[in-house]
Amino acid sequence: MSQDYTFLKACRGEQTDYTPVWLMRQAGRYLPQYMAVRKKVTFLELCKTPELAAEVTIQPIDYLDADAAILFSDILTPVEPMGLKLDFVPGPVFENPVRSEADIDALRIPVMEEDVPYVLETIRILRREFEGRVPLIGFGGAPFTLACYMVEGKGSKDFAQIKRMMYGAPELFAKLMDKITEMDRQYLNAQIAAGAQAIQIFDTWGGIVSPLDYQKYVLPYTRKLIDGLDRSVPIIHFVKGAGCMLDIVSQAGSDVMGLDWHVNLGKARDIIGPKIAVQGNLDPTVLYAPKQHIEREVKRILDENAGRPGHIFNLGHGILPTVDPEHARFMVECVHRLSGK
């Protein structure tokens, strides 16, 4: 029974026989088998070719023995059909970033089955492939993180453009965020309808604002998004840099909160309370350490959780491309062995 997957039970806060584990960005450049596929196509072509996207989604399941798979795509995939020309060099770049009201008005809400059919087809292929083996996580960017890329046009250190809009033209910012939130709602519900068994919302840049600004400019949209999702599947909400505002972020209404490594997992659970499960939170750079160090850190995090139900082990952010894959596999093995599998 698919509902009995250890990962899904942990998402629902139920007792499990052992601690399930997967790694954010587990399909990717640290794996030679990914690079072999990636050599033949661009990153966007890979995302848009269901057979190849499915193949690289399966690779880390075969290699790592992780307890959940995550769809191979990108948070910016649905933004391209909104009308922004997207390239990866390797970071994302939009040729025509959103700066004015006319730019916002020109954005369209994609028709998911027509504009991103490859995402939904990849999910359908993967459900057939994984039946009885591992559950499949779908995902999207949180409205604020998507807005950061759409307004900045690329990654940023100071986020000057989005903050200019947020503080200087709050009605424009709200209009943009409303449109992105509605796109995201339809996009994630389409993934669930196609077969995604859990959804992770990535708010990579949600922590660049103060707790008060998070409450004012970010939280209302993420909460509205989560409210509008088909809740027959668990929703995981990962905000990087949320350690100082866990009480506020928990109001977004997710089933699971992703934690980065700047918080003690046990203390975070005390703040969040027993109704929300947690996912995390090993520092991704610990995978550069010798194996005894990795094992000690895995044990420390399991000890911080202290046997409470509703813990999914993960990194505190995505795996880094220069990590030795053997160390990632060893980490998964440690989580399983030390938690009693």
Enumerate binding residues for ligand CP3 (CB under 6 A).
24-29, 38, 43, 70, 72, 74-76, 88, 90-92, 139, 155, 202, 204, 318
Rank residues 13 and 147 by Cβ distance to ligand CP3 and give the closer one. 147
CB of 299: closest distance to ligand CP3 in angstroms? 25
Please tell me which residue in 34, 63, 149, 217 is annotated as part of the active site: 149
Contacts of 275 by beta carbon, 8 Å cutoff, 6+ apart: 13
CB of 15: closest distance to ligand CP3 in angstroms? 27
- Catalytic residue list contains 38: yes
The dihedral region occupied by 331, where left means phi > 0, alpha psi between -120 and 50, and beta the remainder, is alpha
Rank residues 110 and 206 by Cβ distance to ligand CP3 and give the closer one. 206
> Given CA atoms 143, 144, 149, 152 in this order, what sign does their dihedral have?
positive
CB of 137: closest distance to ligand CP3 in angstroms? 9
With the CA atoms of 266, 269, 271 and 274 taken in that order, what torsion angle do they form, in degrees rounded to the nearest 10?
A: -140
Please tell me which residue in 25, 223, 308, 329 is annotated as part of the active site: 25
- Catalytic residue list contains 149: yes
CB of 37: closest distance to ligand CP3 in angstroms? 9
- Catalytic residue list contains 269: no
Rounded distance between C-alpha atoms, residue 32 and residue 305, angstroms: 33
Rank residues 202 and 313 by Cβ distance to ligand CP3 and give the closer one. 202
Q: Indicate the residue whose CB is closest to ligand CP3.
A: 204
Rank residues 29 and 175 by Cβ distance to ligand CP3 and give the closer one. 29
Question: At 137, is the secondary structure helix, strand, or coil?
Answer: strand
The size of the chain, in residues, is 341
Residue with tokens 């604020």: 144
Rank residues 67 and 295 by Cβ distance to ligand CP3 and give the closer one. 67
Please tell me which residue in 38, 127, 308, 329 is annotated as part of the active site: 38
Q: Which residue(s) pair with 141 in the sheet?
A: 202
CB of 232: closest distance to ligand CP3 in angstroms? 22
Q: Which long-range contacts (CB under 8 A, 24 or more apart) does 260-264 make?
A: 260/316, 260/317, 261/315, 261/316, 261/317, 262/316, 264/304
Catalytic residues, by residue number, are 25, 29, 38, 74, 149
